[in-house]
Amino acid sequence: MRALLQRVREAQVTVDGDVLGQCGPGLMILVCAMQGDTEAEAGKLAAKAARLRIFPDAAGKMNRSVTDIGGTALVVSQFTLAADTRRGNRPGFSAAAAPETGAALYEAFAAALRGEGIATETGRFGANMQVSLVNDGPVTIWLDTEA
């Protein structure tokens, strides 16, 4: 699985003008299930995201996690994180998990994040969503269970 974490002051996702989820301060997480991924990988990725020390401590050093600060999370499905741009100018997405599997692993990731004690809201898998956020730092971290 792949995830792009952004430390945010606030974030929200809407569909057709309706707010589906929001968070802040905390993490905006774009997540993509890849072919062959399992629920175990979703849990491992969520645990890593929950413990990643990317928030400032009293001295201003990135030494605290979203859990440490009592932050929240917004999780949005993003199959385009599977983009293969090695050939031509049109990305390929064949490495992404099939939609049914992707949806299940997306939900498993969000559930695992909640299991870590983080208040977590989500977008809608497969929907055309509009995401807005205020990136704090900016701090943006790429996580991949393959790496």
Residues noted as catalytic: 78-80
* HSE-CB for 91 with a 13 A CA cutoff: 10
| Contact partners, residue 10, CB within 8 Å, separation at least 6 | 22, 23, 24, 25, 133, 134
Cβ–Cβ < 8 Å for 4, 140: yes
Burial (CB < 10 A; 0-12, 13-18, 19+), residue 47, is middle
Query: Rounded distance, CA 27 to CA 82, Å?
Result: 20
Supply the DSSP symbol for 88: S
